Structure 1
């Protein structure tokens, strides 16, 4: 799929994770944001980082991602909020980030480190003393063959994920999980912009590929992983 359509697909998405505004505010509360440096590894378009900066005037932020289109969206939102002097957007591989920070976000980006366990171990070096907001998928129910094929065999259960955090030297300060409405909204908004585009571009050469993706995504969600794949948000401390 070309870059234009890929950017369009995410345009109706508030978050690139199953999350509500209320839940996001709760997580920011638990992060105890004051001054210092907050780095968001795998930041996407940086909405949560910008909300954090809006809460704490003495906080500086850095968002790191390889997605040029998402970073352009982040920079535009930064200008709208008047936060340009307090945040940097860096196009780089977040797995290589080495500068320590007092606070960090890593949400839905464990794969860039290789696995959940490797991510938690690597992030302990990024935050030698402070707090980490870590978001990751887990098996909320035993997966069937189709879900295993989609998400791979390395996904943990929630107890296993907490054990991995403990093994990496983290203290678990907060645990919450995405509810069904957050999941349904995330999946629906991930399809919404392409559904709108398809309705007005049925003769476009790309329409067949878009329709196929939309149909497969909805089918997989409803049949294979709705209620099976969970997503947790952990506030971890060191």
Structure 2
């Protein structure tokens, strides 16, 4: 798809993870936010980061990502909400960010570090002593089919192994929850919504066939190959 459609694709998404607003608020509560520095590594457009600083006036935020369009969306939202002086967004490799920070988010970004285990180890050197990490990562909720493995790769762990990897990296679990089916269905629906709406409004556009194939293929993959198979865990960790 061209740049215009790629920019449009995620505009109906609240954040790039299966997470409801209520669940997001719970996670922010469990992070015990206060004055200090919060870094969101692999932030995308940083919606959870922006909500964190909105509820914590003494908190300074930094969002790190390599996607210029997502970062531009985050900067625009920060300006619109009056937080431009409280949050900065930087185009950089999340895995190379040196830290430290008092609080760190890393949600759906373990791939930037090479693997889940590598992310958990590296993040231990980014979170300041006495700090907290909100780590969100996929896990196999059921044995994956060959097609699911083809889509997501072989680094994803079953949930018990994810928790074992967390402990092996020296983390203590302060909070643990998983995305429910409604959160997953909403995430998948909103990931397709903007392009599906565009398709309905522009059926004769030369790009319509490509968009139709993408949207239909994404829905088929979700329903046939990983709905109920791929889970997503949220861990608030300390060490």
Q: Common fold, TM-score beyond 0.5?
A: yes
Q: CA deviation at 1:203?
A: 2.0
Say yes or no: does 1:139 pair with 2:140.
yes
Unaligned runs of 5+ in 1: none
Aligned to 1:150: 151
Aligned to 1:87: 87
Q: CA deviation at 1:79?
A: 1.0
CA distance in 1, matches of 2:186, 2:34: 31
- Deviations, residues 133-175 of structure 1 (Å, cap 9, x unaligned): 0000000011111111111112101111111111111111110
CA distance in 2, matches of 1:94, 1:154: 19
Give the alignment's TM-score, normalised by structure 1.
0.98
CA distance in 2, matches of 1:128, 1:34: 14
CA RMSD of aligned residues (A): 0.8
Q: Which moved more, 1:182-191 or 1:145-154?
A: 145-154
Q: Secondary structure at the match of 2:28?
A: helix
- Deviations, residues 55-106 of structure 1 (Å, cap 9, x unaligned): 1111100000111111111111101111111111101111110021110000
CA distance in 1, matches of 2:56, 2:195: 36
CA distance in 2, matches of 1:23, 1:217: 25
Q: CA deviation at 1:40?
A: 0.2
* Off by >3 Å, runs of 4+ in structure 1: none
Give the alignment's TM-score, normalised by structure 2.
0.98
Q: CA deviation at 1:128?
A: 3.6
Where does 1:154-193 land on structure 2 (aligned, <5 Å)? 154-193=155-194
Aligned to 1:215: 216
Unaligned runs of 5+ in 2: none
- Deviations, residues 171-229 of structure 1 (Å, cap 9, x unaligned): 11110000000000000000111011111222222111111111110000001100000
Aligned to 1:35: 35
CA distance in 1, matches of 2:41, 2:96: 10
Aligned to 1:202: 203
CA distance in 1, matches of 2:75, 2:4: 18
